[in-house]
Each structure stands twice: as structure tokens, then as C-alpha cells.
Structure 1
């Protein structure tokens, strides 16, 4: 199933504020960034699926997560090609590629061309923008 078959999630800013924590709202709805090495999931090593914290859409599999040393959870590919939308971001005097959830347009982080094979990409995600669901056979640490 491609993410394009998932209905778009559209909510008012008041609804987003009610459903998300202040930090989740700041990151996902206002394109914020958590401080490096402070967010959840950086040291998560169980097998499972990372979902959008705002709408629950599946975004990344643990098999694509790697240790980039950047201070944020990093992945070399989304779970499906159309799970994450990419947009040019020229904020803060830089030109970057912003990654957003294709289902609800939540800001997730940025994509950089310095990742490992096979894609050469680093999806540098805010852990605050993600939820994690371990596979059924994975025990909590």
C-alpha cells in the first residue's frame, strides 16, 4: 500500500495544539528542531517501525536507521518512497531539503546527501516528531 492511498490528515492549529505536546507542536507544526542528543529514539536499536507522532503514518523501518553521529535519529530511506515529502527550505540563511510527513505535512527534519549506501541520503529526523512501534517479537530493554 502506498502512502498516497492514505487520506490526508488536515486539522486546525487548535486541534494540533490540543493533540500534541508543546514540544511536538513546536517541532512538527512550526518547523522547530530539538537540541542535538536530547530527543527520543536516538539510541533505539530494536526492530520496528517509526511513525509520525502527529498522524501515526508509518515513515521509517529500523533496518534503515544508522548511527550518523549528528545527534538526531538518522535513516537512509523512508519506509515507502512516498511516505515523506521533500521541500526546499531556505530558512536560517541556508539552503536545505526539509522532510515532511506526506500524510499530515508535519515537519520531521531534513535530508542531506551524506548518508550511507545504498541511497547516500541521511534523513536527519527530530525524535520528537516520531513514535516507535517495536515488532511483536522485540522486548523492551
Structure 2
């Protein structure tokens, strides 16, 4: 089986420039499943600047994610998030819910505060460890 690589090629020609079976955009291009013969063609072309060359990953991102989760003993099929009770994992709180949470934590805020400001206050409270544990 022929070795395959992922490579970065910088195209100094126009968008749509074709070389070694690839259609290149102007500027930097990340190409996958590139053979040694294609790499030689890129390196021989003066309009292209050959960048990095790395072996193709042997596993998909999803497989790597599952492997890493199982190594940590947390393989429940989903990515977990830190939940300290202050910020829900989905961050779908309404402005009123955020205000209630801040009031319960004893954090003062302007009555005219917008949602981004309130979320920032709640995030700061989460970082500082506020909120009765």
C-alpha cells in the first residue's frame, strides 16, 4: 500500500489552479491523501510553495475522541462539560433565569444589564467558585 500524506501547499497562481489532480485555491491549501508522486509534482512547480508534509492520520476524529474518552474512564458517548451548578451545559438560560441565578448568588447587577453582561457575571462567579457548594 502506497504511503499517503496530508500536505500544505501555498498557491501563488490564481484560484482554480490545477496540479497533480487537485484544484488549488489562491493561498494556503491543506490537501489530504497525497501520494509521493503528487508531492514531487507540487515541489517541481515554481508557482507553488510546498509547506509541511505529515502522514495521514490512522484514525478518524470521532474514533480518536472515543479512544481519549475511554482512556479517561468517561466514555458515555458524548463529550462532557464541567458542571459546577452555575452554568448549564447548554447555556440556554433566559435573561430572567440568569438574573434569578445571580440574585440567588448575591451578585449585584444593573437592572438594564443585557444578556452578555449577565452571562459574563455568571461566568465570573463560576470561575471564582462562588455559589454554595
The normalised TM-score by structure 2 is: 0.23
The normalised TM-score by structure 1 is: 0.22
Based on CA coordinates, which of the two structures has the bigger radius of gyration? 2
- Structure showing the higher helix proportion among its residues: 2
